[in-house]
Amino acid sequence: MPRVSQDHLDARRRQILDGARACFARHGYEGATVRRLEEATGLSRGAIFHHFRDKESLFLALAEDEAHRMAEVVAEHGLVQVMRDLLATLGGGEHPADWLGTRLEVSRRLRTDPEFRARWAERSRELTAATRQRLLRQRDAGKLRDDVDVGVLTAFLELVLEGLVSHLAMGLPADDLDPVLDLVEASVRRHRRSAATAEGLSANAP
C-alpha cells in the first residue's frame, strides 16, 4: 500500500480547517455538529478525526492557525496592519466573516469554558510576543515613543483589536474606521519636535 505523501496530508488538513472555519463561524461551536462539519469539509467524520482527535482539538487547531497567521503579519507589519487587513477584506477577499466568527467563538469560549481558557492561554502568547518584539524593534529604530513601557503599548494595541472585533460583531459601520486606525498608529509612534517648538524650549531654558 503506497504511503500518503506529506504534501497530501498537509492539503487534507488545510481542507478540513478551511471547511471547519466556515462551519464554526456560521453555526458556533455547539451548532457545528459532525454532520455539518462533514458537509462543510466534503469529508467523512473518519477522515476529519483522523487528523484531529475530536471537535475540541479541531476548533483549537483552527484558532491556533488564525493566531499564527496574525502573528506573522504582526512580526512583519505590526498589529495595526492586522486591523487594516480585516477592514480591507470586509465584503470580499479571504472570508473575513469566517475569520470574525472564529474570533467571536474563541472569545465566547474563553468566558464560559475554564478548560479551554487554560489551553488557549498557552497559544495566545504567540501573538502577544510577536507584537511586543515588533514594538521593541520599532523603539530601537527610533520610531516608537519611548515615554510609555512597551508592555503597556502591547496591551493597548491588543485592546484596540478586541474593540474592533466587537464593533464589527455588532454590525456597526466599518467604512469610516481607517482614520481611527491612523490615530491609533500615531499614538504609539515617536513624534519629533518641530523646529519652532525646539527653538521655543531653547529660548525658555535656564
Kindly report the average pLDDT of the chain as a whole number.
83
pLDDT of 97: 59
pLDDT of 146: 92
**DSSP of 66-118, one letter per residue?**
HHHHHHHHHHHH-HHHHHHHHHHHTTSSS-HHHHHHHHHHHHHHHHH-HHHHH
The answer to whether 45 and 38 are in contact (CB under 8 A) is yes
The angle that helices 150-169 and 178-188 make with each other, rounded to 10 degrees, is 170
pLDDT of 40: 94
3-state SS assignment for residue 189: strand
pLDDT of 4: 63
The answer to whether 169 and 121 are in contact (CB under 8 A) is no
Here the cell at position 178 is: 481607517
3-state SS assignment for residue 1: coil
Alpha carbons 66 and 106: distance in angstroms, whole number: 11
Share of the chain above pLDDT 70, in %: 85
pLDDT of 113: 84
Domains of the chain as residue ranges with CATH:
56-191 (1.10.357.10)
DSSP secondary-structure letter at 172? -
pLDDT in tens, the chain (206 residues): 456 688 888 889 999 999 998 898 888 888 999 999 999 999 999 999 999 999 988 998 888 888 788 888 898 999 999 899 888 766 554 455 566 777 778 888 888 888 888 878 877 788 889 999 999 999 999 999 999 999 999 999 999 998 988 888 787 888 889 999 999 999 999 876 544 444 454 444 44
pLDDT of 123: 74
**DSSP of 113-134, one letter per residue?**
-HHHHHHHHHHHHHHHHHHHHH
Sign, CA dihedral 78-18-107-52, equals negative
pLDDT of 204: 47
Judging by beta carbons within 10 Å of its beta carbon (0-12, 13-18, 19+), is residue 85 exposed, middle or buried?
A: middle
pLDDT of 105: 80
Name the nearest CA neighbour of 158 among 120, 128, 119: 128
